């Protein structure tokens, strides 16, 4: 048979579109043509496939006109994932393997020149997309990729180490011939490992900073974003790096979604399975690096932090375009990357933890050193953060410097495990009441589940009018107050909860001469 069909998948965002690799062998001048909107690395498969077949002792039909079509033709294809299906298509079209046995299988894998199979990115995203669309098929993947794909429940995944392992499994057999021995490199990958308790740095390592720790507890319980402001060396980074340890354990669905995005970016490792991601991009990162982009679109840092933490240190030093790009994802929890021909949607339900100095020198209001910045310098520095962006951050906390006596003599603080237990109980109350964390409340749902006391409502109205708060600021303060009430185990939101929430909406410290 001179025509064969092999199934594979192309990735566009978290979608895994079906791709049929059609291979036709014809008489004519020897050639190898690959069509179907293939990117450069896909077109280079011609040389990899040729060498892999020859070095594996298989016959490459060099005297034929070979045409490979990746259908559908208008779907972009990238990476080396199509090396294995192209090689199998050539072998099936030339009669070296049984084309009929390929039905019910899907293949992906990059070939080395010797025929070894190399891992491809996005294997977990591909398996998760198949599971979500209820497609029942058997995936054949290289080592590393197969273990990723097997994390999805009920996935049928086979691992092959070499091209010959796959070829031996699909050799044509006579009716009376005994079944061949299974290849040593071919095996079914077992089911996904259970989620285990993740190991995060302990918040007990941070001495003092009771106010900042309280803010971290509130942020973890309600899913709120947080801005830490303080002088250099006050512990802002230590606090942010331990925040993930306060969040509730990941569910299986959350772990799969987070790991699938990491797989798309080539960052996933089995050792990180079940751990909430903490992304810490440098302040020189561009807007594309933060929100994603490229052609085809790749996830950015905000998507790689899905169901985890995005820590932005030196917050005002990020470019204005990068910071303003965070505004929409902070509200919606998603990012849409549009190109002329395609668009990709990535989830971005992250918790933002930002840290900054109060002024360029860092010592505005400090009792340890005098600030040497002029009021104009302080104003310009703080103006790098726009009002709409600051408005979208729920908690604003000052992190003062810790005195040396307290640093050396103070006992260890409360452990992350104890705080996580309280946060988990508070979040469980909110989810049982309204189905989502408090930060996700919108519109009528906020009014319905806030349960605001009459005295608390009057107090908030007077305070919001005097402080000149926007509607967004008022709503975010109410969400924080509801979280504080949940931490206290209170049924309704009371004056004390609103008063504490208001303390976390203070503006940046006003500029004053050093």
Tens-of-pLDDT digits for all 514 residues of the chain? 589 999 999 988 888 899 999 999 999 899 999 999 898 999 999 999 999 999 999 999 989 999 999 999 988 898 899 999 999 999 999 999 999 999 999 999 999 999 999 999 999 989 988 888 888 899 999 999 999 999 998 899 999 999 999 999 999 875 444 555 556 789 999 876 666 667 888 999 888 888 999 999 999 999 999 999 999 988 899 999 999 999 999 988 899 999 999 998 888 888 888 889 999 999 999 999 999 987 778 899 999 999 999 999 999 999 999 999 999 999 899 998 887 667 888 999 999 999 999 999 998 888 778 899 999 999 999 999 998 999 899 999 999 988 877 777 777 788 999 999 999 999 999 999 999 999 999 889 998 999 999 999 999 999 889 888 888 889 999 999 999 999 999 999 999 999 999 999 876 654 433 3
The runs of H, that is alpha helices, within 231-343 are: 236-241, 252-264, 287-291, 301-304, 320-324, 327-332
Using only C-alpha atoms, what is the Rg of the chain? 28
CA distance 322 to 436: 28
Could you give phi then psi for residue 272, rounded to 5 degrees? -95, 5
Structure tokens at 76: 């972009």
HEC string of 83-116? HHHHHHHHHHHCCCCCHHHHCCEEECCEECCCCE
What pLDDT, on a 0 to 100 scale, did the predictor assign at position 513? Answer: 37
What pLDDT, on a 0 to 100 scale, did the predictor assign at position 229? Answer: 94
Angle between helices 416-434 and 210-222 in degrees, nearest 10: 40
What is the SS3 assignment for 499?
helix
What is the SS3 assignment for 366?
coil
What is the SS3 assignment for 409?
helix
Q: Are 16 and 9 in contact (CB under 8 A)?
A: yes
Q: Are 506 and 396 in contact (CB under 8 A)?
A: yes
CA distance 487 to 483: 6
State which H helix or E strand residue 358 sits in. Answer: none
Handedness of CA 309, 312, 318, 324 (dihedral sign): positive
Tell me the CATH number of domain 3-188, given options 3.90.1150.10, 3.40.50.2300, 3.30.230.10, 3.30.160.110: 3.30.230.10
Can the peptide bond before residue 296 be classed as cis, meaning omega within 30 degrees of 0? Answer: yes
What pLDDT, on a 0 to 100 scale, did the predictor assign at position 511? Answer: 41
Reference 279, options 202, 197, 350; nearest CA is: 350
Reference 26, options 69, 82, 85; nearest CA is: 69
Sorted by where each begins, the domain ranges of the chain are: 3-188, 203-436
Q: 44 vs 90, 116, 131, 376, CA distance in Å?
A: 16, 16, 31, 57
What pLDDT, on a 0 to 100 scale, did the predictor assign at position 508? Answer: 63
Q: Domain spanning 203-436: which superfamily?
A: P-loop containing nucleotide triphosphate hydrolases (3.40.50.300)
What pLDDT, on a 0 to 100 scale, did the predictor assign at position 183? Answer: 60
Q: Are 353 and 311 in contact (CB under 8 A)?
A: yes
């Amino acid at each position: 048979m001179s025509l064969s069909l092999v199934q594979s998948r192309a990735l566009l965002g978290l979608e895994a579109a079906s791709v049929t690799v059609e291979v036709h062998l014809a008489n004519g001048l020897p050639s190898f043509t690959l069509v179907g909107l293939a990117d450069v690395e896909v077109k280079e498969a011609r040389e990899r496939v040729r060498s892999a077949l020859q070095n594996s002792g298989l016959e490459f039909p060099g005297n034929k006109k070979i045409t490979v079509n990746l259908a559908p033709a208008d779907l972009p294809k990238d990476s080396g994932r199509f090396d294995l299906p192209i090689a199998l298509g050539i072998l099936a079209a030339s009669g070296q393997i049984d084309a009929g046995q390929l039905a019910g299988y899907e293949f992906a894998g990059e070939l080395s020149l010797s025929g070894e199979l190399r891992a491809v990115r996005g294997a977990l995203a591909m398996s998760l997309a198949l599971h979500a669309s209820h497609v029942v098929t058997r995936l054949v993947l290289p080592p590393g990729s197969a273990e990723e794909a097997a994390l999805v429940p009920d996935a049928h995944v086979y691992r092959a180490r070499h091209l010959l392992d796959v070829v031996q499994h699909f050799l044509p057999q006579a009716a009376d011939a005994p079944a061949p021995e299974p290849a040593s490199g071919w095996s079914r990958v077992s089911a996904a490992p259970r989620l285990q308790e993740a190991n995060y740095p302990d918040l007990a390592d941070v001495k003092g900073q009771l106010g900042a720790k309280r803010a971290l507890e509130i942020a973890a319980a309600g899913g709120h974003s947080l801005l830490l402001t303080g002088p250099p060396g006050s512990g802002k980074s230590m606090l942010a790096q331990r925040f993930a340890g306060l969040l509730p354990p990941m569910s299986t669905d959350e772990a799969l979604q987070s790991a699938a995005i990491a797989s798309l970016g080539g960052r996933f490792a089995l050792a990180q399975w079940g751990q909430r991601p903490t992304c810490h991009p440098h302040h020189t990162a561009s807007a594309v690096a933060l929100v994603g982009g490229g052609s085809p679109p790749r996830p950015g840092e905000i998507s790689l932090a899905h169901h985890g933490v995005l820590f932005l240190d030196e917050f005002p030093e990020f470019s204005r375009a990068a910071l303003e790009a965070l505004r929409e994802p902070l509200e919606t929890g998603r990012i849409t990357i549009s190109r002329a021909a395609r668009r990709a949607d990535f989830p971005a339900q992250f918790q933002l933890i930002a840290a900054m100095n109060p002024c360029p020198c860092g010592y505005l209001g400090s009792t340890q050193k005098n600030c040497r910045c002029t009021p104009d310098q302080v104003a310009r520095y703080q103006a790098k953060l726009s009002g709409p962006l600051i408005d979208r951050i729920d908690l604003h906390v000052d992190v003062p410097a810790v005195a040396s006596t307290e640093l050396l003599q103070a006992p260890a603080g409360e452990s992350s495990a104890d705080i996580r237990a309280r946060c988990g109980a508070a979040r469980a109350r909110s989810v049982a009441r309204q189905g989502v964390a408090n930060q996700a409340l919108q519109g009528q749902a906020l009014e319905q589940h806030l349960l605001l006391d009459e005295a608390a409502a009057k107090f908030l109205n007077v305070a919001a009018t005097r402080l000149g708060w926007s509607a967004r600021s008022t709503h975010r303060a109410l969400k924080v107050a509801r979280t504080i009430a949940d931490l206290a185990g209170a049924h309704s939101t009371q004056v004390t909860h609103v008063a504490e929430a208001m303390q976390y909406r203070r503006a940046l410290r006003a500029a004053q001469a050093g």
